[in-house]
Amino acid sequence: MSKTASGSHTLAHSLWPSGDERLRFLVLAVAGSLALWVSAKVQVPFYPVPITMQTFVVLVVGMSFGWRLGAAAVLLYLVEGAFGLPVFAGTPERGVGLAYMVGPTGGYLLGFLLAAALVGWLGQRGWDRRFITTLAAMVLGTAVIYLPGLVWLGIVIGWDRPVLELGLWPFMPGDAFKAALAALVLPTVWRLSGHR
């Protein structure tokens, strides 16, 4: 079995330890992109705004797949969207393809890719095996999503507008919930799998 640079397996590798590496990579990348597609379409009632589970899936896929495979799954999702498939939240009603991707929420999409790579790298180093380190990774990943998201939002709508009120504050309670949920789920799956 191949190991990551640190000698630690990812959760995905532990759950699917043998077989053709290329086939596993392809199947999991497609599965991850489909999970992102579904998560973008499911709205969960929450305060102060409804949430999708999209950032949860980005971070969980990234952390459980490792940085290369996690980033590949998110990149595949972005390519699907660039080709006009209605994979993003609010599509096709708010547009599709590249026109959507350069709109106000385009920076968050870039953040998805960066966050999946970051938390995947941390997951390969065992951060997904305990609640506190998984939570820390989820917080870091969420920050990495917000950074390019808010910068691009400010560029598109203008810095004279209330960028933080539009693109950050209303979503923080939901993202805190999703980070805590991921911090419960990932170490639990490790424990149940017997590979911790």
The percent of residues above 70 in pLDDT, for the chain, comes to 95
In the chain, % helix, strand, coil (3-state, to 5) comes to 70, 0, 30
In angstroms, rounded to a whole number, what is the distance separating the alpha carbons of residues 3 and 8?
Answer: 6
Residue 17 has a pLDDT of 86
**Mean confidence (pLDDT) of the chain:** 93
Cross-strand pairs, 43? 52
For 37-52, what is each residue's pLDDT tens digit? 999 999 889 888 889 9
In this prediction, residue 2 has a pLDDT band, given cuts at 50, 70 and 90, of very low
- pLDDT of amino acid 88: 95
What is the per-residue pLDDT for 19? 82
* 177-192 average pLDDT score: 96
Total-model pTM: 0.92
| Residue tagged 């393809």 (tokens) | 97
Please check whether residue 117 lies inside any domain of the structure: yes
Predicted local distance difference test score (pLDDT) of residue 195: 60
Q: Which pLDDT tens digit goes with each residue over 14-28? A: 889 888 889 999 999
Identify whether 5 is part of a domain. Answer: no
Average pLDDT rounded to a whole number, residues 162-181? 96
Q: In this structure, what CATH number is given to the domain that contains residue 31?
A: 1.10.1760.20
1 domain residue, yes or no: no
Q: What is the pLDDT of residue 176?
A: 96
120 domain-assigned:
yes
Does 105 or 6 have the greater pLDDT score? 105
CA distances from 102 to 4, 44, 193 (A): 35, 26, 41
Range of the domain at 29: 11-193
Residue 2 lies in a domain: no
Round to whole Å and give the CA distance between 57 and 73: 11
Spatial distance between the Cα atoms of 15 and 51, rounded to a whole number of angstroms:
29
Q: Is the pLDDT of residue 192 over 70?
A: yes
In a domain, 57, yes or no: yes
Quote the pLDDT of residue 8.
58
DSSP lists the bridge partners of residue 44 as 51
If one counts every other C-beta atom within 10 angstroms of the C-beta of residue 141, the result is 29
* 114 in a structural domain: yes
Report the number of distinct structural domains present in the chain.
Answer: 1
Higher pLDDT, 87 or 9: 87
Tell whether the model's pLDDT for residue 81 goes beyond 60. Answer: yes
Q: Regarding predicted confidence, which is higher, 189 or 5?
A: 189
6 occurs within a structural domain? no
